Structure formats: structure tokens, C-alpha cells
Amino acid sequence: MQKWPPLLAGLLVHHAQGYLGFHTPGHKQGRGAWPEWRNLLGEQVFSLDLTELPGLDNLQEPQGIIKEAADAAAAYFGAEKSFFLVNGTTSGILAMLLASCSPGDYVFIPRYCHQAVVHGLILSGARPVYLQVRFHPELGLPGAVENSVLEKALLEADVQPRALFLIHPNYYGLVGDIQAQVDLAHSRGIVVLVDEAHGAHFCASSRFPTPSLQAGADMVAQGAHKVLGAFTQAAFLHCGRGFADLGRLRQALRIVQTSSPSYLLLASLDVARYQCSQEQEKWEKLAEFGLELRQKISQIPGLMAPGEELREVPGVVSFDPARLIVNVSELGVSGFEAAFWLQKERQILVEMADFQNVLLILSPPDLDYREKILAACRDLAMALKGSGKLENPLLELENIPLSPQVLTPREAFFAPREEVAVSSAEGRVAAEAVTPYPPGVPVIFPGEEITREALEYLTAWERAGGTWPGQERGTIQVVAD
């Protein structure tokens, strides 16, 4: 008989009791749902949309089925302890920083990081020491922290950093020398926190890069909805062997998470872990598939899907074969234009576009779409073939100088602020992170003086079709004079 993952099994047992519920949620297991909505989603979605009830569990203090499921996740991913997250990898990043850093503590952070890291600094009051990340000049791809950059930063630091924050992999599936960097940090008594939003599938097979827990990371926030099949928002937070202050971490999680977690999201985490553990063969095929697609796409005139070349990106030692990057710059168009063409002409939506590339996330169900992907690439190249090579303004992100940090991100957040036009923001101190999305990497960090180069980059991004959320178009929030 099929053995269900524990959290899902618990939900089904509860449902089988046929209770008449006088508790939240107000749709009353579908009895009160708008009929069209219920018909659309199906009865079971409502029956299983439960809350903390006798026989179920409590996310803030798991003792029952959530604990069982989290323990199973810890065993599978190789953690000492795992927590379920219903507010994305974002909540894991916030909790890691809150749990391990106190106001004034220094944290080493790659300049190419997700905005959640900056928001974690605002919450914790920690001070960033940014590590510059270089780009590959032709591919226009951001690399990883280089060992030499980390070593130099450690040498120059006149304070003992509390933590090193790493992104493993970056949005493009590129990974740095995590083993060496974890070892180096640990040898100096520095805690290693990792954003593994895009790497939950790494432990499915050795065909993928080394998972950061295996490299000895102390805490890892890991997305389960980006590549694995969990519902959107579902993620894990794992503790490695080195992290001790579980009490503070639990409290941090209570700060950043809802007290009414969706059991559908929680069950989807349990199922995603279970499914991944059962489907090693499919993941191995997927790794092979990603490499094969690269080869075939690179044979199409005007397109290039880098594989082994990715190891030439600064700081990169390995890459995720399931992250397909298609560089379109030889066609003379931007990645934004290529993505738009694929959407409009082939009903294909990609994960992300940038100045030079479109990025496709592959997971096992895509194994059936080899011909569709290849045909769309061939047609794209034929349709958009232009002349000349697109200039690569992405390089400017790397070239944006690290500007003086006038305030910490937390001080900048709480300082009186005003909104100014982008055109008059140069030299002002940013009150917010200005973050083109995707990939959600800030170009301007709160507390820093805004440089001309950063503003030029944002203008180019917008002109090329990119956007950034969080503020009125054409304005930036700065610390009031």
C-alpha cells in the first residue's frame, strides 16, 4: 500500500473523521465557498485547507505531523534540524539573519544578492561588508564570490565578522567554491548562512552541484517552489551542525511567519521532499537533458546556450544543468525582446530575461518538451536575426562602484525620507533598496550614497524593457536632507 508522506497522511486522517467544523477558515471546508470557485478548484482543496486543530499540529511549536514531516526533510536534505516555511525563501533569509546577527554585527554579503538579504539587515541591524561579484564579459552573467575576494576582505577587515552570507546557486544556476569558503569562514569562527532558493534539487543526484549543507553551511534557506513541486511560497530552513541557538531561531521564525500557516502549503513541502527522494532517476535524466539542450541550441546560428563555458564566469566552479541560459546577443536583440517574442509567438513563458539572455528553469515534467523548446529556439533565431552585436550594459552592474555607506540599512530605513526623481537622486543617501525584478538583486542598497553609474544602469534597464517594483515610477526614496 502507498505510504503517504506524514503531513499529508495526517491531513487525510483528519478529513476522514467527517468533523463538522466551527473554526477557521470561513469557507468551512468548502461548504461556504463561492460555488464557482469550489467547482473550479475542486472540493479537496477546501477540505484540506485546515488550521491548527486537535490531531493536526502547530507550525510555531511542531510536536506532531509537522514535526514528523520536518524531521523527514532534515534526514533527506542532510540537516540537523529543518523548519517549514510558508513565506518563501525570503522568510528563511530574514530568520537566519535575525537569529544569528545582532545590531552592529558585521556580515559579509555578495553584492549580487536577493533583496531579502538587505531586508534581513534592516531587521537585524547588522552591518554589511559587500563583496564585489564580477561578471563574465561576453556572456553578461554574474559570477560567484571568488576565494581571493573573500580572503582579501577577511584580511582587510579590522573587525571580526559574525557571518558570511552566500548565494548557492545564483539565479543563473552558477555556484562558487562553497566548500573552500565554508572552511575558511569556519576557521575564523564565522557563521555561514546560505541562500539556496534555487538549489533544493541539488541533493536529488550527484549530477547537480554540491548542496551547501553537505559543504558544512550552518543555516540554509532553501526554496521548494522554484524547482521542486511545492506550492508557491513554500520553502525550507535547514540548520547544519554548527548552529546552536535554536531558541532564538524559533522566535525569529515566529516574527517573520504567519500564525495561520496554510496546511496546503505545508503538505506541499512534505510531498515535494517525498517526490524528490523517489525520483532520482528523473532528475538524472533532467541533468542530461539540460546538457543536451545546450549543445543543440548552441548549434542554432545566433544563439548560444553556455555549458562548460560557465566555469569561466568569475568565481564559478560548477553549474546547475537544469538552468538553461540562452544568450541571444548575436541576434542583435536583448533577452527582453526574445522573451517577449517567445511569449507572443510561441506561448512560451521563460523564468527571466536580461540584457543578453533568457533563462528557462527545467524540472522533470519538461523532459517531454525537447522538440518544442528546440523548435521555438530555431524559430526565434530566424525571426529575430538582426545585425551587429548588442552592447552589453549589464557590465555596468559590476562597474557600479561600491559607494560610501553613510548609514546602515536599518538606520536608513528608519531615517526620515523623501521621494525624489531618479534624475536628481545622485549623491543622495538611499532609504530603500532599488531592485529590478527578476532577479531581485538590488542595484542601490539602503544607506549608501547613490552613484551616477547606478542611476545610468537603472535607466538602461528600464529602456531595455526591465522594471523594478516598490516605488513610484521614476522616483527613488532617499533619506531626507
Ligand X SMILES: Cc1ncc(COP(=O)(O)O)c(C=O)c1O
Indicate which single residue of 98, 116, 174, 190 sits in contact with ligand X (rule: CB under 6 A): 116
Considering only residues 288 through 347, tell me which ones interact with ligand X, judged by CB under 6 A.
none
The residue among 113 and 333 lying less far from ligand X, judged by its C-beta, is 113
Segment interacting with ligand X, rule: CB under 6 A, options 61-69, 84-92, 121-129, 452-460: 84-92
Q: Is 309 left (phi over 0), alpha (psi -120 to 50) or beta?
A: alpha
Report the alpha-carbon distance of residue 119 to residue 445 in Å, rounded: 10
- What string of DSSP letters covers 57-102? --TTS--SHHHHHHHHHHHHHT-SEEEEESSHHHHHHHHHHHHH--
Q: How far is the CB of 114 from ligand X (least distance, A)?
A: 3
Contact in structure between 110 and 315 (CB atoms under 8 Å)? no
Q: Does 89 bind ligand X (CB under 6 A)?
A: yes
Q: Does 440 bind ligand X (CB under 6 A)?
A: yes
Binding track, positions 150-179, relative to ligand X; x by CB under 6 A? -----------------x---x--------
- What string of DSSP letters covers 255-301? HHS-SS--HHHHHHHHHHHHHHHH-HHHHHHHHHHHHHHHHHHHTST
Q: Classify each residue of 141-179 as buried b or exposed e, where b means 16 or more C-beta atoms within 10 Å of its C-beta.
A: bbbbbbeebbeebbeeeeeebbbbbbbbbbbbbbbbbbe
Segment interacting with ligand X, rule: CB under 6 A, options 27-35, 44-52, 194-202, 367-375: 194-202
**CA distances in angstroms from 119 to 395, 397, 438, listed in the order given:** 25, 20, 17
Indicate which single residue of 14, 111, 114, 294 sits in contact with ligand X (rule: CB under 6 A): 114
Nearest to ligand X by Cβ — which residue? Answer: 88
Q: How far is the CB of 159 from ligand X (least distance, A)?
A: 26
Segment interacting with ligand X, rule: CB under 6 A, options 43-51, 85-93, 145-153, 469-477: 85-93
Indicate which single residue of 142, 223, 321, 447 sits in contact with ligand X (rule: CB under 6 A): 223
Considering only residues 368 through 387, tell me which ones interact with ligand X, judged by CB under 6 A.
none
3-state secondary structure of 356: coil
Contact in structure between 46 and 262 (CB atoms under 8 Å)? no
Contact in structure between 178 and 168 (CB atoms under 8 Å)? yes
Q: Shortest CA distance to 434 belongs to which of 420, 445, 418, 449?
A: 445
The residue among 123 and 422 lying less far from ligand X, judged by its C-beta, is 123
Report the alpha-carbon distance of residue 439 to residue 141 in Å, rounded: 12
Q: Does 139 bind ligand X (CB under 6 A)?
A: no
Segment interacting with ligand X, rule: CB under 6 A, options 32-40, 87-95, 148-156, 446-454: 87-95
Indicate which single residue of 149, 166, 174, 197 sits in contact with ligand X (rule: CB under 6 A): 197
- 369, burial (CB in 10 Å: exposed 0-12, middle 13-18, buried 19+): middle
Report the alpha-carbon distance of residue 365 to residue 343 in Å, rounded: 19
The residue among 29 and 257 lying less far from ligand X, judged by its C-beta, is 257
Amino acid identity of residue 369, one-letter, is Y
Considering only residues 260 through 289, tell me which ones interact with ligand X, judged by CB under 6 A.
none
Report the alpha-carbon distance of residue 230 to residue 423 in Å, rounded: 42
Contact in structure between 59 and 187 (CB atoms under 8 Å)? no
Q: How far is the CB of 82 from ligand X (least distance, A)?
A: 16
The residue among 166 and 304 lying less far from ligand X, judged by its C-beta, is 166
The residue among 135 and 171 lying less far from ligand X, judged by its C-beta, is 171
How big is the CA angle at 331 (ends 392 and 382), to the nearest 5 degrees?
160
The residue among 33 and 144 lying less far from ligand X, judged by its C-beta, is 144
Cβ contacts of 18 within 8 Å, gap of 6 or more: none
The residue among 46 and 171 lying less far from ligand X, judged by its C-beta, is 171
The residue among 163 and 235 lying less far from ligand X, judged by its C-beta, is 235
Q: How far is the CB of 428 from ligand X (least distance, A)?
A: 27
Indicate which single residue of 59, 62, 70, 90 sits in contact with ligand X (rule: CB under 6 A): 90
**Residue 210 C-beta-side C-alpha neighbours within 13 Å:** 15
Indicate which single residue of 57, 105, 195, 354 sits in contact with ligand X (rule: CB under 6 A): 195
The residue among 5 and 439 lying less far from ligand X, judged by its C-beta, is 439
Indicate which single residue of 240, 409, 439, 442 sits in contact with ligand X (rule: CB under 6 A): 439
Q: Does 96 bind ligand X (CB under 6 A)?
A: no
Footprint on this chain of ligand X (rule: CB under 6 A) = 88-90, 114, 116, 167, 171, 195, 197-198, 223, 235, 439-440
